[in-house]
Copies of this chain bind each other. A is one copy, B any other.
Amino acid sequence: MRPKATLKQIAKELGVSVSTVSKALSNSPEISEPTKIKVQEFAKLKNYKPNNIAVNLKSKRSKTIGVIIPNILNPFFVKVFSGIEKAANARGYNVITCISNESLKKEITAMDMLSNGTIDGFILSVADETQKEHEFKHFKDAIADDIPIVMFDRISEDVNCDKVIVDDFDSAVNAVNHLIKTGCKNIALISNIDNLSVGQLRAEGYLEALKANGVAINEDLILRCESTEELDEKFPAFFDIKGKKIDGVFALEESASVTAHKAVLKAGFRIPEDVQLIGFADGVWSRRLTPSLSTVSQHGPEIGEAAAETLINRLESKEGEELPYETKVIKTELRQRDSTKKL
């Protein structure tokens, strides 16, 4: 291994000072053309790369973003992450990723591990447990320590910071409206995320759409669970198509959609002829199920890009500049595939 090239090395070999080399490489007008060329060519020859850590120490910024994701197996988060990564790299930032696994403790550990100069700011979606316990001190501490946070999707109203969300309420209203328009009379609501703020908002949208259309709310048509396992277990008994006359299902999350899709077919009914189905979903499989699933698509990559842009703008804003916190809303899109009837 060739010893790593440093300014000092180059300076010595070229018989000039370290500061001359530094300036020459940064193309400073202080340095004469011939010297610049000599230094730059030699540096290229030696494959010199400024040591990032030293630069960071000097500039007190790491150009690195910490991303904390509750559950990496959820494709929505993966899509958001891909958007963050892309936007961050485009602006010269790296991304350190931690997975909280829905655990408050891991969330705190991860933030602690990174809040020491390693990262300049956080992009995160609040862990399930954190939302349940209403424990937000670690977020507030980071902000107080001048480490900005951008929350996406699962946010906390109690924390004052930038946020990027989906219009969950409106999206649900739209989706249910669509089911009503295509002729559904008894629309079931199924949730595997009733413990999350977004789950609540979507459920409220369902209720609102029914109300606006003058449809009475029937609690027997509502199945709210706090995990996919729970839903998987309860759905077959709940799904009494004859007794309840269910002709539409609105699923609040991708896994719930798949649960319904599978169970409805297994029970011997046709989609969409007997039962129409719409679900929130961003995975690759919604279009590959048979029949394919009509979805509320959340535009994960756009959410990630917006979050990264927001954070970096704040990181790079001038010291004095008062940048008010903003909440960006990314619109969803209703993707009609084969699990709903055409209008």
Residues of A within 8 A of B (CB): 1-2, 4, 47, 49-54, 56-57, 62, 64, 72-73, 75, 78-79, 81-82, 85-86, 89, 94-99, 110, 113-118, 144-146, 255, 258-259, 261-262, 265-266, 283-285, 288-290
A sample of 16 more A-B contacts (CB under 8 A), given A50-B116, A51-B117, is A1-B144, A2-B144, A4-B146, A49-B115, A52-B117, A53-B62, A53-B118, A72-B81, A72-B85, A73-B75, A73-B78, A78-B78, A85-B98, A94-B113, A97-B97, A262-B289
Task: Give the chain B neighbours of A57 by CB distance below 8 A.
Answer: 51, 53-54, 57
Residue of A62, A89, A285 with highest tally of chain B CB at under 10 A: A285
Which residue from chain B places its CB closest to the CB of A65 in the assembled complex? B96
Are B118 and A94 interface neighbours, CB within 8 A?
yes
Residues of B within 8 A of A288 (CB): 258-259, 262
Bound form: Cα–Cα A53–B1 in Å: 25
Chain B residue contacts of A2, Cβ below 8 A? 144-145
Q: In chain B, what residue has the closest Cβ to A3? A: B146
Quickly give the copy total for this chain: 2
What residues of chain B lie closer than 8 Å to A113, measured between beta carbons? 89, 94
Max count, chain B CB within 10 A of own CB: residue among A47, A81, A258, A284: A284
Which of B82, B255, B259 contacts A72 (CB under 8 A)?
B82
22 A-B residue pairs with Cβ-Cβ distance under 8 Å, sorted by A, are A1-B144, A2-B145, A49-B116, A52-B116, A52-B117, A52-B118, A53-B56, A53-B118, A54-B117, A57-B57, A73-B75, A73-B284, A85-B98, A89-B113, A94-B114, A95-B96, A95-B97, A95-B98, A97-B97, A255-B284, A262-B290, A290-B290
User: Which chain B residues border A95 with CB–CB below 8 Å?
Assistant: 96-98
A102 to chain B minimum Cβ distance, whole angstroms, is 13
